[in-house]
Chains A and B, each alone.
Chain A
């Protein structure tokens, strides 16, 4: 009875995928653990997690990314994007995408943390890729000053010197980082979502990334000494404020001074 059940299961098409997935998980997971041991959480996922993730994938992602995550005309292949990509894209609500456009926006996540972990487990089992960062890099307890310098060199041109975000070409934009949690910031750096470039561990070491996160968190927690930020949009926003309100006030006073009393 038990034997018959196993045989019939083996004949089902996804059995082959399961076997391949399990094989890849062992080799890929081992490779990822060996190469990214310094920065990643120990990436051990159970077969049950991977199976649950595969089911979630087939139900929610496969129509665009293909049933084996091989990619279609509508969406890229997810083989080798790693658990970090899944955690970033699904965790920030960018995936599943609502509509096509120049850029996908973040929105409330459609999945529970457990489901995201399962999805990540399955995608990570396809091929080695960036893993979900270890919590020790996400504590915002690094060197904010060094992080600030690295941020200004590597990130500020798009994300603004204090992470307020900015415009790119063709309707795309670099999102503000004020609402992004440390894990999302770390995952974005190692995976390069959408048009963002990748910052691998040779470019910015895990400690560098931790410093950058520290700087961004410091920015949020310490109000600007220079006065009210006006959304941190820089001289254009400040100039507009001065022209409309300060100059408007001066003009109003001038008109009042010149008018005769009734």
Chain B
């Protein structure tokens, strides 16, 4: 049993030794409890009656809320139209909320205004047990050792130690899931020499003549839809195909042959953290990534002109096959998407 003392009492339950602690003189003194303030409801019967009425009104509101929830269930029924979910959920939820909040607010208001509000302080009891209790506990441990034979039965004890030592090992083995080493998978995509550029999502091959100036095609490699790991492959191989006026392109001698009559294909995977970069502005020829606003200049080899990306988008070298369809000359010449350690 804890002894409860009236507010303002400076009596201490125990006397502690300071031990090795240095007690300074300017230690903050215990201010004790602030003086008790008498509530209006304690002083005026009129206020008391009003508070009682308020509590009752809150409880009544709760009843109204619960009743409304029942009403709402029938008044806003779920039909075949998915849109009816919205009103059903909202009004049912609003009624139940009012039902619960009314009880909660009423109870708190009741406690705050009408129940006794005397402040009390409870001192902490000492944590150290009495000598008698400690001796008793030691006795119990000794008895348990004797009865179980823990000290005496070496085989059992040592096999238990072994079991306990092995128990955490599976958790360590689970770290293997952080692998396997992706090896070369980050460096390659589905694109190969001769793979046709096809439309997302239908897989229709694209003729160079169909890509008019200012057009944007969202491209996947031919055969992606039949691929065993469609989403993994798409996450690396997605390409944006745009045709601009060839005279507007700024191309190095090395990459001059990578475009076809102003048609350029760039990886859609942002070099920052891998969002799809697909917001193409026709007049500014900027490609904008919606996640962190990295902006790439499509006419100038997709160099970064703004934002956190640090490398240009990789370009897919393209050509046209005998039938006039756009094909890849090769895979990307660099890994697509965000940077990684070994890049």
CA distance A262 to B117 in the complex (A): 11
CA distance A186 to B88 in the complex (A): 36
CA distance A157 to B295 in the complex (A): 14
With beta carbons under 8 angstroms apart, the residue of A157, A225, A256, A260 that contacts B82 is A225
Contact of B215 with A by CB under 8 A: yes
CA distance A198 to B213 in the complex (A): 8
CA distance A150 to B282 in the complex (A): 20
CB neighbours (8 Å) of B266 from chain A are none
Contact of B281 with A by CB under 8 A: yes
Contact of A60 with B by CB under 8 A: no
With beta carbons under 8 angstroms apart, the residue of B40, B242, B288 that contacts A262 is B40
Q: B214–A222 contact, CB under 8 A?
A: no
CB neighbours (8 Å) of B288 from chain A are 168-169
Q: A197–B214 contact, CB under 8 A?
A: yes
CB neighbours (8 Å) of B239 from chain A are none
With beta carbons under 8 angstroms apart, the residue of B86, B113, B201 that contacts A223 is B86
The interface size bin for chain A is 20 to 34
Q: How many residues of B contact A (CB 8 A)?
A: 44
CA distance A158 to B40 in the complex (A): 61
Contact of B217 with A by CB under 8 A: yes
CB neighbours (8 Å) of B82 from chain A are 222, 225
Q: A261–B217 contact, CB under 8 A?
A: no
With beta carbons under 8 angstroms apart, the residue of A153, A199, A203 that contacts B201 is A153
CB neighbours (8 Å) of A172 from chain B are 281, 284
Contact of B276 with A by CB under 8 A: yes
Q: A222–B283 contact, CB under 8 A?
A: no
The segment from A113-121, A135-143, A188-196 found at the interface with B is A188-196
With beta carbons under 8 angstroms apart, the residue of B86, B213, B281 that contacts A195 is B281
List residues of A whose CB falls within 8 A of some B CB: 149-150, 153-154, 157-158, 166, 168-170, 172, 174, 192, 194-200, 202-203, 222-228, 256-257, 260-262
List residues of B whose CB falls within 8 A of some A CB: 37, 39-41, 81-83, 85-86, 89-90, 108, 112-113, 117, 199-201, 206-207, 210-218, 242, 276, 278-284, 286, 288, 290, 293, 295, 306
